[in-house]
């Protein structure tokens, strides 16, 4: 690429280079079969742990099946792993000098953040598919037809993509893979502080407020509704839970509007 | 040494890297304070300096990773700020601040970077094989880089920057932390590249590395150039070094006094019966020194005159603080 290529050609290179970087992530997976095994085993563990260990003690309103209640929460958990993975990969590239090599090469400037978020979308789809498989095995089902089911998954994908840009920005901000690794365990409490695993009705008021406004709750509530699974809140609830699909879309748009420009700016200017 | 032996007066001829008055600050820290640099096509220029002298900052600016606060630089004829894209198409960067993906194989890395250099898939594969073969990494080609030794990793890092046959190669401390054997391998690779016509700008903390590889040396301290020249020219600036071993350790104080008078500077004691002193440039001959010591009744077991090492030159230069020229 030279400085004077046409915008169309530049866009073409951004796509080509972005795809090369998506291919890179797949190549890494191939070198680490252990990760694939872990990716397969992890959902099973979560389903067993929550579905049977906690599920035996948790009462779902109306006496519904807890595993029907649980799976949308686990889908949300998988969705919210996006920012962690992307953050770690960006920070590793930044601290090991790979980012500097990219930036010293005549490749498309924006391919790196777009490639990373694109790669995360692919791995995210794979993880979601595995989790769906685990759910079907323990008796979870969508009940409202193909289109509505597809809408639920689409909603997860949209939010996942938005969250991956949060990861790009955080990775560029910390620039250090060890700090990024240290931040990863924060993902779990963030997911737990929601309606993903238990109804929020029993929480103390201030905690319930946080949980109800947590985007994890909006996504979980939206997909429960779209799948026709139990646990859809009714009565006097906070706005995000009364309009979970709209809330999830608003979250996605807000994250994209904030973090795409922030990330691109951080990427183009880092180290300058 | 390389096939080339460009006199330092040839600096004006066809420079591939030119920097003029580069300034760069990070907060209160002035990393570069008006750095000037010129590297002739097809030569190796060694950029020497202590940690924090500004070597890496200079390389980052020349490799378009960072913008100077003031001054300008051209690499392969293009401005590093305004024509960064053209510069990037003509340079390679390796060493401390360039790297590879540890989770991919060596071959996987070269293919990926080949694609990112916009080679066709087939050309990227062919180039990867060529480079692995030529630089002796074919046996490890299909192992993940995480399993490579430090030396192999650096070599892969180096050849990754060669995919597009760069006109100018920046090597930022390419052998820091390597064992002597791996260093030798990197040195050989660099010599081969220069024989192919690549211009190399090399930063290093190892003076012997610069002595082995560089046609010209630029010594920087506190973000400024304090000396330039060929290794031999730089050594000549501080005069030869005299090492004396005495027959009788008791004669050491007398020998110290006499040599101080002769050299006009304090000798350094070496062990119980030896001393070492830098002689003034173009000064004394060995025969005169031996005669003087004889007259003073100091019996020497061994008297040797030698060229200073580049380390001694470097210590002398960076100790002085103010610019030499």
Position B325 in a domain: no
Q: Going along A56-199, which residue ranges are E strands?
A: none
Domain boundaries, chain A: 7-269
- pLDDT class for B283, splitting at 50, 70, 90? low
Establish if B62 belongs to a structural domain.
yes
Question: How high is the pLDDT of residue B166?
Answer: 94
| Residue of chain B whose Cα is closest to the Cα of A271 | B66
pLDDT band, residue B4 (cuts 50/70/90) = very low
CB of B65 within 8 Å of a chain A CB? The answer is yes
Q: Which domain holds residue B251?
A: 239-307
Q: What is the overall mean pLDDT for chain B?
A: 86
For residues B217 and B244, membership in a common domain is answered with: no
Note whether B173 and B297 are same-domain residues. no
Residues B157 and B100 sit within 8 Å (Cβ to Cβ): yes
Of A13, A20, A97, the CB nearest to B97: A97
- State mean pLDDT over B22-29: 93
Q: Do B116 and A105 count as a contact with CB atoms less than 8 A apart?
A: yes
Please tell me which residue, A167 or B178, carries the higher pLDDT value: A167
Mean pLDDT over A243-261 rounds to 97
Same domain, B82 and B171: yes
User: Is residue B44 packed enough to be buried (19+ CB in 10 Å), middle (13-18) or exposed (0-12)?
Assistant: buried
**Chain B residues 211-230 with a CB less than 8 Å from chain A:** none
> Residue B253 — very low, low, confident or very high, per pLDDT cuts 50/70/90?
confident
Q: Residue B288: which CATH number? A: 3.30.70.120
pLDDT the model gives residue B11:
43
pLDDT band at B97 (very low <50, low <70, confident <90, very high): low
Residue B303 and residue B291 in contact, taking contact as beta carbons nearer than 8 Å: no
Whether residues B48 and B169 fall in one domain: yes
Select from A78, A94, A55, A39 the least CA-distant residue to A187.
A78
Residue A100: list chain B partners with CB under 8 A.
60, 65, 93, 97-99
CB contact under 8 A, B101 and A107: no
According to the model, what pLDDT value does residue B66 have? 93
Q: pLDDT at residue B124 above 90?
A: yes
Residue B130 lies in a domain: no
Contact B63 A31 (CB under 8 A): no
CATH number of the domain to which B21 belongs: 3.40.50.300
pLDDT in tens, A56-113: 888 777 778 899 999 999 999 999 999 999 999 999 999 988 999 999 999 988 899 9
**Contact call for B65 and A24, based on CB within 8 A:** no
pTM of the full structure: 0.83
CA distances from B52 to A147, B57, B58, B287 (A): 62, 9, 11, 43
| Rounded-to-integer distance, Cα A160 and Cα A251, Å | 11
Q: Which residues of A touch B (CB under 8 A)?
A: 1-3, 13, 16-17, 20-21, 23-24, 27-28, 31-32, 96-98, 100-107, 111, 271-272
Nearest residue of B to residue A15, measured between CA atoms: B116
* Predicted ipTM > 0.95: no
- Closest CA of chain A from B144, distance in Å: 7
Q: How much is the pLDDT for B181?
A: 86
Between A213-222, B84-93, B189-198, the lowest mean confidence (pLDDT) is in B189-198
- Say yes or no for a CB contact (<8 Å) between A106 and B160: no
| Number of domain units in chain B | 2
In a domain, residue B152? The reply is no
């Amino acid at each position: 690429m030279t400085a004077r290529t046409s915008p169309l050609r530049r866009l073409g290179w951004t796509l080509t280079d972005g795809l090369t970087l998506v291919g890179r992530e797949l190549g890494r997976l191939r070198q680490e079969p252990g990760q694939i095994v872990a990716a397969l085993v992890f959902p099973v563990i979560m389903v067993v742990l929550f579905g049977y260990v906690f599920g035996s003690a948790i009462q779902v309103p109306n006496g519904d099946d807890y595993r029907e209640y649980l799976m949308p929460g686990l889908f949300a958990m998988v969705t919210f792993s996006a920012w962690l993975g992307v953050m770690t990969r960006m920070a590793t590239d930044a601290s090991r000098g790979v980012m500097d090599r990219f930036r010293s090469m005549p490749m498309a400037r924006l391919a790196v953040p777009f490639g990373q978020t694109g790669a995360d979308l692919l791995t995210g789809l794979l993880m979601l598919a595995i989790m769906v498989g685990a759910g079907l095995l323990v008796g979870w089902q969508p009940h409202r037809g193909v289109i509505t089911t597809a809408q639920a998954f689409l909603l997860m994908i949209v939010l996942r993509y938005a969250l991956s840009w949060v990861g790009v920005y955080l990775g560029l901000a910390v620039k250090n893979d060890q700090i990024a690794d240290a931040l990863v365990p924060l993902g779990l409490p963030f997911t737990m502080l929601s309606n993903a695993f238990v109804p929020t009705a029993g929480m103390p008021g201030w905690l319930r407020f946080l949980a109800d406004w947590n985007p994890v709750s909006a996504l979980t509530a939206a997909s429960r509704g779209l799948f026709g699974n139990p646990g859809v809140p009714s009565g006097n609830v906070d706005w995000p839970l009364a309009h979970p699909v709209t809330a999830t879309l608003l979250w996605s748009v807000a994250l994209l509007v904030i973090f795409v420009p922030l990330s691109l700016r951080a990427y183009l200017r880092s180290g300058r | 040494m390389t096939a080339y032996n460009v006199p330092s007066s040839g600096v004006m001829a066809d420079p591939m890297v030119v920097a003029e008055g580069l300034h760069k600050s990070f907060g209160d820290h002035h990393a570069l304070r008006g750095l000037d640099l010129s590297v002739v096509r097809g030569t190796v220029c060694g950029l020497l300096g202590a940690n924090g002298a500004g070597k890496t900052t200079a390389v980052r600016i020349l490799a378009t990773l960072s913008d100077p606060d003031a001054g300008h630089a051209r690499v392969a004829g293009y401005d590093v700020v305004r024509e960064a894209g053209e510069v990037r198409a003509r340079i390679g960067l390796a060493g401390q601040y360039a790297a590879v993906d540890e989770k991919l194989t060596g071959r996987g890395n070269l293919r990926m970077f080949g694609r990112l250099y916009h080679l066709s898939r087939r050309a990227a594969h062919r180039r990867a094989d060529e480079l692995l073969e030529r630089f002796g990494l074919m046996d490890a080609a299909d192992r993940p880089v995480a399993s490579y030794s430090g030396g192999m990793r650096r070599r892969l890092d180096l050849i990754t920057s060669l995919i597009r046959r760069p006109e100018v190669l920046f090597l930022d401390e390419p052998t820091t932390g390597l064992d002597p054997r791996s260093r030798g391998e990197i040195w050989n690779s660099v010599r081969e590249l220069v024989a192919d016509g690549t211009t190399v700008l090399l930063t290093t903390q190892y003076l012997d590395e610069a002595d082995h590889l560089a046609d010209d040396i630029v010594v920087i301290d506190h973000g400024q150039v304090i000396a330039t020249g060929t290794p031999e020219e730089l050594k000549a600036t501080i005069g030869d070094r005299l090492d004396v071993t005495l027959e009788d350790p008791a004669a050491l104080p007398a020998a110290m006094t006499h040599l101080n008078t002769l050299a006009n500077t304090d000798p350094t004691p070496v062990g119980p019966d030896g001393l070492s002193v830098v002689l003034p440039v173009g000064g004394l001959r060995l025969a005169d020194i031996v005669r003087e010591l004889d007259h003073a009744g100091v019996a020497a077991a061994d008297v040797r005159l030698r060229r200073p090492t580049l380390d001694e030159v470097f210590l002398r230069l960076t100790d002085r603080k103010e610019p030499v020229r």
